[in-house]
Structure 1
């Protein structure tokens, strides 16, 4: 059956496929519409600024009692790729840990309508450039700026658990680092190489008494003051810095999340598993709070392994805020904020694909709701200790502007 209709000088023909049945099951009709005069559609381009958004005018159903599906789909999953249809669930998609995630490079550099950009362009834009590679005597980790000249990383990037006063040395931070083969010095350290001025790690990490067992610990967190450069500049004045949150900031629990404390979290790092640790990687996916051997942890599906340690776990990650209109309002807890740093995960690149973070929060070691002007719990206490410490040249790190 055919029918024709002329709309805006464009001849369109719709072909309606009749219902088909198989084994007594009725299938939906598919309708095809063909534009028989595409040239006419190009003659008078629309004024985009005058167009109004199209919405589904059907009334929204009641969603107050919906809950997530718990059973598997009765159908075989599949995906159509450039290489063809794949119907087996690849472990790389989510691993035996069974929490889905997406990981990819923080990289630009392909041809676009505007030309070619440098491969490291994206990692030199905010907020990516507030994240970088932290090198030191034992190797490298990932770190991110949370004050004008203070970075946060993992305590195990400062010293081994329970090693007392024995710490690593020579910490240097390269924000926005891109070190792929052939990278120039300007790409390797686009904002320069910055050295450390002072650091604070939890005493319970140093003496080996922190709550937890094995790698899972309450407070695998440390902060480092970054010294000014030769031009007497603070690093954050060049790169900007990120917010931080504590005590389940932006997490929510409801019947729609299976009553689990859940947030959408983006994690960053330089894992050796991916691109040899030379390029910043990003993982996005649902993240949950949990307790492992008494230690408060965040957990996420991920393949960011060694080298991503100390990398930020960020809620509400985005580069810019949209301009709201039509009565739209932001939701609760909308701020971009670091809520933990990568602590540990499966070392097998083809098995669990999981990652855990020491959560920024009040806990047994850091029970106070207020530590100076820096918030609650472990992250606030570490910052308060660092920022009230005497700095070279007189005054404290706070009074000199490091902790703005």
Structure 2
């Protein structure tokens, strides 16, 4: 399981609270290039009861840090960085995939419409929009259950990633399609950070696009087996949290065992679509983003939940004012299992007739992935690593291109297009 090198010591990233520790600013990129696993040789399980046991044994992957000891303090804000990332963000566009109506018969389509709306009797928790000591700060948020379930674009391009880690245990994270067969997630969801050896890669895994517990073992979009894993050079060698480099990728096989049989035998992004993504100049002092995830504290991690908030970098981290956020820092109630979830700009569709459309208008673009949270749940703060890292140190284009080359060898040249 991944670990974080905090305050000069290796601390296991556990699915429980860690002992209190200071975090030191992590080392920046060493420029060793992206790291990909060897091809995964075989399916981890045979199917049937063995598959059900594999899924039921999964626990949420939790990546957490503690603030220094002493009383909880409200956030202090350093001045915004005066030197921005060079140039505008570089974006690779996504595509929405096939309409739902082309994938199901009319009876099931009507059933979706009937069952897809929230009701006044739907179980819910009270409103929560900030953590302790953060009333008058930008670290406020709105978390909610996605209704209806994620069978429409772009939400169905996001799902649960269930995997057997290098420690032999089974966990789940969140991941998103960024091409026909390529996923983006957190580095600690693919590799035991800082292991600095290929034995740190996951042993096996499956991606379930648009996962919903309501479907049980009969998931409408099925699953795809993961064939390769990849991560940034710094997560591979160092594994610090709040370093801006907890980013990973994975390569899917074709969809299998989908209830909507129209998608079986196709690469997931061919039918379901995929999100756009930023690969250069992703990190800014402020971005308003939508976070998607399957956190274990909401609905047992079985339903997609949404968090909307302002994300901030280059300022003091709330409750650790001596440390600066190299990641995006933001308010959220999500906990373990949300790791790897996409942080999306301009989610959804919009038709604007204004003569002044504003800036950064590309729709459904991933800028970051969920990386960590605080051990103490009352803080309601998380961090997300920007895909490009600090000063573009992740060289995400090279990581993506390496996985794209693997995809083209396995699935054909049409499976992806390399970035410039």
TM-score range, shorter chain: 0.5 to 0.7
- Structure 2 residue 289 is the aligned partner of structure 1 residue 265: yes
How do residues 55-204 of structure 1 correspond to structure 2 at under 5 angstroms? Answer: 92-96=128-132, 98=134, 99-108=139-148, 120=149, 123-137=150-164, 138-163=170-195, 164-166=197-199, 167-180=201-214, 183-186=215-218, 189-204=219-234
- 1:303 matched to which residue of 2? 333
Conserved? CA contact 1:105–1:281, under 8 Å:
yes
Conserved? CA contact 1:97–1:354, under 8 Å:
no
Conserved? CA contact 2:283–2:386, under 8 Å:
no
How do residues 294-333 of structure 1 correspond to structure 2 at under 5 angstroms? Answer: 296-318=326-348, 320-322=349-351, 324-325=352-353, 327-333=354-360
Conserved? CA contact 1:202–1:219, under 8 Å:
yes
- 1:225 matched to which residue of 2? 251
Structure 2 CA distance, aligned partners of 1:168 and 1:146? 20
Conserved? CA contact 1:248–1:339, under 8 Å:
no
The 3 A distance-change label for structure 1 pair 329 and 96 is: same
Count of residue pairs brought into register by the alignment: 270
Question: Any unmatched runs of 5+ in structure 2?
Answer: 1-76, 78-119, 121-125, 165-169, 257-263, 318-322
Superposed displacement of residue 343, structure 1: 0.3
Superposed displacement of residue 317, structure 1: 1.2
Superposed displacement of residue 232, structure 1: 3.9
Find 1:240's aligned residue among 247, 263, 273: 273
Superposed displacement of residue 285, structure 1: 1.2
Larger Rg: 1
Q: Which structure is higher in helix share?
A: 2
The 3 A distance-change label for structure 1 pair 130 and 246 is: same
Structure 1 CA distance, aligned partners of 2:283 and 2:236? 31
Structure 1 CA distance, aligned partners of 2:382 and 2:178? 22
Structure 1 CA distance, aligned partners of 2:280 and 2:232? 18
**Secondary structure at the counterpart of residue 192 of structure 2:** coil
Structure 1 CA distance, aligned partners of 2:389 and 2:235? 16
Superposed displacement of residue 387, structure 1: 1.5
**Secondary structure at the counterpart of residue 93 of structure 1:** coil
Q: Which has the higher contact order (CA 8 A, sep 6+)?
A: 2
Structure 1 CA distance, aligned partners of 2:152 and 2:405? 31
- 1:338 matched to which residue of 2? 366
Structure 2 CA distance, aligned partners of 1:381 and 1:295? 25
- 1:356 matched to which residue of 2? 383
Superposed displacement of residue 266, structure 1: 0.5
Superposed displacement of residue 331, structure 1: 1.3
Superposed displacement of residue 149, structure 1: 1.3
Question: Any unmatched runs of 5+ in structure 1?
Answer: 1-69, 71-81, 83-89, 109-119, 252-260, 368-376
The 3 A distance-change label for structure 1 pair 380 and 294 is: farther
How do residues 33-52 of structure 1 correspond to structure 2 at under 5 angstroms? Answer: none
- Structure 2 residue 416 is the aligned partner of structure 1 residue 399: no
Structure 1 CA distance, aligned partners of 2:192 and 2:282? 29
The 3 A distance-change label for structure 1 pair 362 and 276 is: closer
Task: Spell out, residue by residue over 1:113-146, the C-alpha distance to the aligned partner (whole angstroms, 9 max, x if none).
Answer: xxxxxxx3xx111111010000011310000011
Structure 1 CA distance, aligned partners of 2:212 and 2:291? 17
**Secondary structure at the counterpart of residue 271 of structure 2:** helix
- 1:74 matched to which residue of 2? none
Conserved? CA contact 2:282–2:386, under 8 Å:
no
**Secondary structure at the counterpart of residue 357 of structure 2:** coil
Task: Spell out, residue by residue over 1:141-188, the C-alpha distance to the aligned partner (whole angstroms, 9 max, x if none).
Answer: 0000111211100110112212222222221011110114xx4434xx
Task: Spell out, residue by residue over 1:12-38, the C-alpha distance to the aligned partner (whole angstroms, 9 max, x if none).
Answer: xxxxxxxxxxxxxxxxxxxxxxxxxxx
Which TM-score applies when normalising by structure 2? 0.59
RMSD, matched Cα:
2.8
